[in-house]
Amino acid sequence: MPQQAPLYIVASPRPRVGKTLIARLLVEFFRDNGRALVGYDLDPREPTFAGYFPDLVATMNIADTPGQMALFDRLLAGIPRTTVIDLGYGPFEQFFDVMTEIGFVQEARRRSIEPIVLFVTDPSPGTVRAYADVRRRLETTAFVPVHNEAVSVMYEKADFPPSRGEYGVIRIPRLSAIVRGVVDRPSFSFGAYMTERPGGPTEIHSWIGTIFTEFRELELRLLMGKLGASLSDSVVGKLSATLRSGR
Amino acid sequence: MAKPTVVVVGADKGGVGKTTVARTLLDYFTAHHVPTRAFDTESPKGTLKRFHPDISDIVDVTSVPDQMRIFDTLSTTDASVTVIDVRAGLLSPTLRSLRDIGFLEAVKKGQLNFAVFHILGSSIASLNEIEDTSAFTTDAKYFLVKNYFNNTSFFEWDQPTHAAYFKRFKDAVEITIPKLNEMAYEQVELASVPFLTFVANKNAKGDAANYSFVLRGYVRHWLGNVWGEYDRIKLNDFVASAAAPAGGGPRVQVVRTAQ
């Protein structure tokens, strides 16, 4: 099986739910793993994500056709790399409209790129509807809900079913307000903080550690999910039997 | 010999996208492996000929020699469908000629299949034209095509006029051609290839091209919708009663985007 490059789309139809924070964490997680990486910030008015990684993240405006070509054609060109898109609430609808209309997912797969939607949830009915809607339109695409505890304490699992049960949900724990202020500084780097700051573990250390563990497990679950989808049940059964006996 | 089919695509004024519709028809028949030939009446330089050079000829439908070229060959040609793109303003004269040469009589007797795609203009000026043509098309499949491909605000007619207009064609079937992204349309124009070839990312010679995937996606989606309309009116069944089973010809795979 050829190496597949994941295309993470961090999305929500609502502002201020932590999309950019999650996109940043993903970029730093992959960068720490030494992965070839590229990012896109789809909010041309306020490209916060691009501001954190000027060398890695390009700002794109998909409001018109040339902008759509700049993004989608570029995503499909060249050697597939791990990609993180921070999809602002502004272009949310447009992005998924274009994506479905041009048949992006099939073409991406043909080029060994696997789109994964990380959908940042919130309890508003509009968001629940938007989730159901895009999931229906992109039936074969992996959807993993993200619960940002800083946005809402409550999380109704039934509102945001992942596209495969085992994908679960990514939980982003709440940070205290003071610490959040530190993390939001433009020069702050999660990876650097983890390695450079000696001394006992702080709240931020364990917070970053928790999230990076979530990401690591997510990648494993996605891989298993893909195996499960691409192999027949009997093969999977045999494989897991082999794994068990080998243990 | 199976029954030949003649499809006339016409409009009463220019710029309503008549040739665009003719091109989608040629692509449709290609995809269904229906051997097709086309006549372009935009002499001396035909747009249809530019996009489909292998199967198109430029003719003057009002001239007798060219009428012979088209209609005397119907039963001998390999093509089971003949598409005629009739220049603006020539629809009524063309239909009149078809009556005069006995073509409409042959249709009436069931010796030929005959379909008319009448592309409607956005203005009410075309009302008289429709009244004209209705007299000749009693035995034809008559399709009124609302073409939105290059226009968002179309058909700003008031309802009573609209109703009065369409009442004359109680057997006519309406077809809607949706809008196509302008840049995508422009790129196909520049490439001068059939829509299907553009979607397949090929140039006129059949070599791999490098068109934008986004624009190809827009064209594929649009073409899928247009063909959806042709499927709805059972166009393939209509010509299939005449068409030979799929033999040679290029096999073009068209991927429809799922809705």
| A212/A102 Cα distance (integer angstroms) | 34
Q: Write the single-letter amino acid at B103.
A: F
Cβ pair A66:B183 closer than 8 A: yes
For residue B252, what pLDDT band results from cuts at 50, 70 and 90? Answer: very low
Confidence at residue B257, expressed as pLDDT on a 0 to 100 scale? 43
Which residues contact residue A135 at a Cβ distance below 8 angstroms, ignoring those fewer than 6 apart? A143, A163
Cβ pair B257:A101 closer than 8 A: yes
Mean pLDDT for A138-145 is 95
Confidence at residue B256, expressed as pLDDT on a 0 to 100 scale? 44
Confidence at residue B60, expressed as pLDDT on a 0 to 100 scale? 87
Please report, in angstroms and rounded to a whole number, the separation of the first and last CA atoms in chain A.
24
Cβ pair A103:B221 closer than 8 A: yes
Most confident of A72-76, A198-202, B107-111, B140-144: A72-76
Asked if A100 has any chain B CB less than 8 Å from its own CB, the reply is yes
CA angle, residues B8, B14, B18, in degrees to nearest 5: 35
Whether B62 contacts B17, CB under 8 Å: no
- Residues in chain A with CB shorter than 8 Å from the CB of B183 are 65-66, 69
Asked if A106 has any chain B CB less than 8 Å from its own CB, the reply is yes
Mean pLDDT for A66-91 is 95
Q: What distances in angstroms separate CA A212 from CA A3, A154, B90, one per listed residue?
A: 22, 22, 71
**Which of B179, B214, B220, B225 should we substitute to test contact with A (largest number of A Cβ atoms within 10 Å)?**
B214
Asked if A70 has any chain B CB less than 8 Å from its own CB, the reply is no
- Does A132 score more than 90 pLDDT? yes
Confidence at residue B88, expressed as pLDDT on a 0 to 100 scale? 81
- Residues in chain B with CB shorter than 8 Å from the CB of A108 are none
- Residues in chain A with CB shorter than 8 Å from the CB of B217 are 72, 98, 101-104, 107
Confidence at residue A78, expressed as pLDDT on a 0 to 100 scale? 85
CA angle, residues B13, B18, B22, in degrees to nearest 5: 155
Confidence at residue A178, expressed as pLDDT on a 0 to 100 scale? 86
For residue B248, what pLDDT band results from cuts at 50, 70 and 90? Answer: very low
Confidence at residue B162, expressed as pLDDT on a 0 to 100 scale? 66
Mean pLDDT for B150-161 is 59
Cβ pair A101:B217 closer than 8 A: yes
Please give the residue of chain A at the shortest CA–CA distance from B185. A65
For residue A1, what pLDDT band results from cuts at 50, 70 and 90? Answer: very low
Cβ pair A65:B213 closer than 8 A: no
Whether B56 contacts B38, CB under 8 Å: yes
- Does A232 score more than 60 pLDDT? no
| A211/A170 Cα distance (integer angstroms) | 8
| B26/B19 Cα distance (integer angstroms) | 10
Confidence at residue B244, expressed as pLDDT on a 0 to 100 scale? 43
Surface of A (126-155) touching B: CB under 8 A = 139
Mean pLDDT for A16-25 is 96
Please give the residue of chain A at the shortest CA–CA distance from B186. A65
Cβ pair B217:A104 closer than 8 A: yes
Cβ pair A65:B257 closer than 8 A: no
**Which of A71, A72, A73 should we substitute to test contact with B (largest number of B Cβ atoms within 10 Å)?**
A73
For residue A230, what pLDDT band results from cuts at 50, 70 and 90? Answer: low
Asked if B212 has any chain A CB less than 8 Å from its own CB, the reply is yes
Q: Which helix (H) or strand (E) holds B48?
A: helix B47-51
Other Cβ atoms less than 10 A from the Cβ of B128: the count is: 11
For residue B255, what pLDDT band results from cuts at 50, 70 and 90? Answer: very low
Cα radius of gyration (chain A): 18
Q: A160 or A78: which carries more pLDDT confidence?
A: A160
Mean pLDDT for A83-96 is 96
Cβ pair A65:B255 closer than 8 A: no
Please give the residue of chain A at the shortest CA–CA distance from B255. A103
Cβ pair B217:A65 closer than 8 A: no
CA angle, residues B146, B28, A98, in degrees to nearest 5: 70
Mean pLDDT for A162-179 is 91
CB nearest to A68's CB, from B214, B216, B220: B214
Rounded (to 5) percent helix, strand, coil in chain A: 50, 15, 35
CA angle, residues A202, A206, A207, in degrees to nearest 5: 110
Q: What is the percentage of chain B residues whose pLDDT exceeds 90?
A: 46
Please report, in angstroms and rounded to a whole number, the separation of the first and last CA atoms in chain B.
40
Q: Which helix (H) or strand (E) holds A84?
A: strand A82-87
- Strands ordered across the beta sheet of A57-59: A57-59, A37-41, A82-87, A5-11, A113-120, A142-148, A170-172
For residue A213, what pLDDT band results from cuts at 50, 70 and 90? Answer: very high
* Residue A140 burial (C-beta neighbours within 10 Å; 0-12, 13-18, 19+): exposed
CB nearest to B218's CB, from A66, A101, A139: A101
- Residues in chain B with CB shorter than 8 Å from the CB of A65 are 181-184, 214-215, 218
Q: Which of A175-189, A196-210, B89-103 has the lowest mean pLDDT?
A: A196-210
CA angle, residues B45, B46, B49, in degrees to nearest 5: 125
Q: A239 or B34: which carries more pLDDT confidence?
A: B34
**Closest to B241 (Cα-Cα) out of B65, B69, B113:** B113
Confidence at residue A112, expressed as pLDDT on a 0 to 100 scale? 93
Asked if B180 has any chain A CB less than 8 Å from its own CB, the reply is no
Q: What distances in angstroms separate CA B18 from CA A195, A245, B11, B120, one per listed residue?
A: 67, 69, 7, 9
| Coil, helix or strand at residue B148 | coil
Q: What average pLDDT is seen over chain B?
A: 82
Cβ pair B182:A98 closer than 8 A: no
Sign of CA dihedral B87, B90, B94, B97: negative
Read off the tokens for B3: 């029954």
Q: B127-134 and B91-100 helices cross at what angle (nearest 10)?
A: 10
Q: The tokens 């995809």 sit on which residue?
A: B31
Whether A117 contacts A11, CB under 8 Å: yes
Per DSSP, helices labelled H in chain A are 19-32, 48-52, 65-68, 74-76, 92-101, 104-110, 125-137, 177-183, 190-196, 203-230, 233-246
Confidence at residue B249, expressed as pLDDT on a 0 to 100 scale? 37
Confidence at residue A119, expressed as pLDDT on a 0 to 100 scale? 98
**Which of B213, B255, B257 should we substitute to test contact with A (largest number of A Cβ atoms within 10 Å)?**
B213
Q: What distances in angstroms separate CA B77 from CA A79, B4, B48, B70, one per listed residue?
A: 49, 9, 20, 10
- The C-alpha of A69 sits at a distance from chain B's nearest C-alpha, in angstroms, of 6
Q: What distances in angstroms separate CA A241 from CA A225, A234, A244, one per listed residue?
A: 17, 10, 5
| A66/A178 Cα distance (integer angstroms) | 42
Q: Which helix (H) or strand (E) holds B36?
A: strand B36-40
Backbone phi, psi, residue A40, to 5°: -135, 135
Q: The tokens 């109680």 sit on which residue?
A: B170
ipTM of the complex: 0.84
- Residues in chain B with CB shorter than 8 Å from the CB of A104 are 213, 217
Mean pLDDT for B233-240 is 86
Confidence at residue A200, expressed as pLDDT on a 0 to 100 scale? 67
Q: B76 or B186: which carries more pLDDT confidence?
A: B186
Confidence at residue B42, expressed as pLDDT on a 0 to 100 scale? 78
Confidence at residue B166, expressed as pLDDT on a 0 to 100 scale? 66
- Residues in chain A with CB shorter than 8 Å from the CB of B218 are 65, 101-102
**Per-residue pLDDT tens digits for B55-95:** 999 998 888 899 899 998 988 888 999 999 998 878 888 88
Give me the residues paired with residue A147 across strands: A171
Q: Which of A54-58, A99-103, B232-236 has the lowest mean pLDDT?
A: B232-236
Mean pLDDT for A122-151 is 96
